[in-house]
Amino acid sequence: MNRCALLVTHTGRRDIVEMARHVVHGLSDAGIEVRLLASEARDIGVEGVRTVQPDESAARGAEIALVLGGDGTFLRAAELARPAGAPLLGVNLGRVGFLAETEPDALDDTVRHIVRRQYTVEHRLTLDVSVMVDGTVTGRSWALNEASVEKSSREKMVEVTLAVDGRPLTAFGCDGVLCATPTGSTAYAFSSGGPIVWPAVEALLVVPISAHALFAKPLVTAPSSVIGLQVKPGGYDALLFCDGRRTIPVPAGARVEFRRGAPDVHIARIHPRPFSDRLVAKFQLPVQGFRDHNPPPSGPTRPDAAGSEPERGA
């Protein structure tokens, strides 16, 4: 059976284009067919490769989708890979690159792992979102990171009622409310004050954005929960943003529902490591405490002191 890989590239930078050419040659020399998006193929300028359109058929039959770029490029590639169930493997060429697996200096090693099929695949929970006006669905979309309902005018506040599993929970005015996956807990939800959730945890996060309310704290619900958000009738219109890429109008009086999506998104890993290590590396977290720099004084201690208090350094 012929092997095939989809390559998705941020072609706005010359260095990334050069890397893309290097990847095409490396995979092709190993007998793996490389697909390029037609718009990107012109910028990359490699002959003899198959070009595809950016639709649901782009990754069909591909064993992997290799992404050269930042998280924005990764999310764009996820739109193509999700329908086909192709795992995504990202090479970080952005800033934080939380969704990426490897760095540019490991590009050759990454290609070798693909050629040898030396990678594992994680399943990541997604969101399905629908907008309803007077009981009629007016828009649907999905998200890997988060979907947010936000005010449409900077100077106006949107008023919402929040419900979980059909039961009203609270109401408040705010700049918006977002529903995030564990994968997206390190993105917009994190910057809005939400908790970081380990990717292996199956849950949905609800995070108010600049809410004018006493009870407007982030929530973590079951993955089976349905989050309902009613925009106040007679109030101001809002907008639904999915991964910051897809937008749907939410008029006053509309209801937005968030639920676990189907299918999941698959992410390839070639360097399995604890999520805590990834957090430390990506956020450059300090992992040394004062005890690491100031060893305890020598001398006699109480007989019962040994082991009585856990170290808090790391």
Mean pLDDT across the stretch 235-258? 97
Q: Is residue 293 part of a domain?
A: no
The pLDDT tens digits for 112-128 are 999 999 999 999 999 99
Q: How confident is the model at residue 47 (pLDDT cuts 50, 70, 90)?
A: confident
Mean pLDDT across the stretch 161-179? 97
Mean pLDDT across the stretch 106-114? 96
The domain tally of the chain equals 2
- 3-class SS string, the chain: CCEEEEEEECCCCHHHHHHHHHHHHHHHHCCEEEEEEHHHHHHHCCCCCEEECCCCCCCCCCCEEEEEECHHHHHHHHHHHCCCCCCEEEEECCCCCCCCCECHHHHHHHHHHHHCCCCEEEEECCEEEEEEECCEEEEEEEECCEEEEEECCCCCCEEEEEEECCEEEEEEEECEEEEECCHHHHCHHHHCCCCCCCCCCCCEEEEEECCECCCCCCEEECCCCCEEEEECCCCCCEEEEECCCEEEEECCCCEEEEEECCCCEEEEECCCCCHHHHHHHHHCCCCCCHHHHCCCCCCCCCCCCCCCCCCCCC
Q: Which residues are catalytic?
A: 71
- pTM of the predicted structure, to 2 decimals: 0.87
Residue that is last in its domain, among 91, 124, 157:
124
Residue that is last in its domain, among 79, 101, 124:
124
Q: Is residue 294 part of a domain?
A: no
**Are both 42 and 158 inside the same structural domain?**
no
Structural domain of residue 77, as residue ranges? 3-124
Residue 215's pLDDT is 82
The pLDDT tens digits for 275-313 are 999 889 888 888 876 566 555 555 544 444 444 333 333
